[in-house]
Amino acid sequence: MAFSYRWRDITDEVSRMVKGVPIKNWALYCDMVSSDMFTSYPWKDALQNIATGQIPLVDGQQDYDVPTNIFRLTKASIVRTDVSPEQHYELDVQMDLDVDLTPRSYVTLKAASLQAGVGKLRLDAAVQVPAGMLLELRGEYQISNSKVRSLTDWLWFDDHYAHVAMAGLMYWAYKLADDSRAGTAQNSKAGTIYTGQLGEYKSALQKMKEDEEYGPSEQYYPSESMGSDRDWSWLGGLVLPSAGGANVPGTSHYASSMEGTIVGAINGVNGTFSLPSQPQPSTNLQWFWNGTKIAIGTGILVSGSTVQCQAGYIPNTGDTLEAYW
């Protein structure tokens, strides 16, 4: 891994790529892109462990002081330390927990949360700590990101992902210039849809998340609990076409639940599209054309990772496609 770039390296390159677009406060927009990238995922280089003995549990207490510089709690467990070997009781991490001061046995507690509003770590209830027993809270958390104050600041991510920051800054350059190439963010029942340069940035950021390889087990945060292995790529959105049918990164139609991009021109003529992987079985595929689900066998045929749209179901320029399996 290499960390040899400063923000100045990125802004100089972006300035050459978006000729004639003046940016008066590059550091501000660098910080905005940096923050968006950092908060979108629990990056490995930003994770720290709660130290042994740092958070002892107290009889009848539900809330505990947080580690310094915590941004997001990612793992939690109650550990009994007065026995050998230690006993570990894993907890689900949730976004929010209600106040419950009725003490409960530590073995019945199931969850923990970072209550950002009060600056505390909270168990799902106050804990009972029997006399002579030693219990503590351990876990893993993502630290807060440092603010970009100067273009001489170093990038916090590996050089391999400098292009992600470049794509984000290009979006802001186009947006400040009222250039339609900036793209838009739109809400849909499938999530947020990104187009144009914003779509290219979000697509590159999605790939950066996938490279972290956190594992296949999915438990959504914050609306649901999380397990120890989790893919946080859902924090992003869907990248759909801004116009036309060219298969250009970031403007081509996005595929499935964090699976990649559908390949194929949307132009009213082409009816053959390739998925990034093969649905198993093919009947698991859900195909949406402009938000309407199309039945397999009626509107589309599926063979491996290829989808063939039938007559009357071929998308026109400007239409949207979504696929899930």
Q: Summarize pLDDT for 162-191 with one digit per residue, the tens.
A: 999 999 999 999 999 999 999 998 887 767
The verdict on residue 161 lying in a domain is: no
- Average pLDDT over the chain reads 83
Contacts of 85 (CB under 8 A, 6+ apart): none
The verdict on residue 61 lying in a domain is: yes
Report residue 88: phi and psi, to 5°: -115, 135
pLDDT digit string (tens) for 213-238? Answer: 643 333 334 433 433 334 433 333 34
* Claim: this prediction has a pTM higher than 0.95: no
The verdict on residue 64 lying in a domain is: yes
Q: How far apart are CA 129 and CA 179, in angstroms?
A: 61
Residue 89 near residue 106, CB atoms below 8 Å? yes
User: According to the model, what pLDDT value does residue 260 have?
Assistant: 61
Structure tokens at 95: 């976004």
Three-class SS string for 78-144? EEECCCCCCEEEEEEEECCCCCCCCCEEHHHCCEEEEECCCCEEEECCCEECCCCCCEEEEEEEEEC
Structure tokens at 249: 């990164």
Q: How far apart are CA 172 and CA 14, in angstroms?
A: 10
The verdict on residue 276 lying in a domain is: no
Q: What is the count of structural domains for the chain?
A: 1
**Gyration radius of the chain over CA positions:** 24
Residues 55-68 as b/e (b if ≥16 CB within 10 A, e otherwise) read bebeeeebbbebbe
pLDDT tier at 85 (50, 70, 90 boundaries)? Answer: very high
Taking 90 as the threshold, does the pLDDT of residue 261 lie above it? no
The verdict on residue 151 lying in a domain is: no
User: According to the model, what pLDDT value does residue 74 have?
Assistant: 95
The verdict on residue 127 lying in a domain is: yes
The verdict on residue 206 lying in a domain is: no
Residue 56: give the domain boundaries: 45-143
The verdict on residue 270 lying in a domain is: no
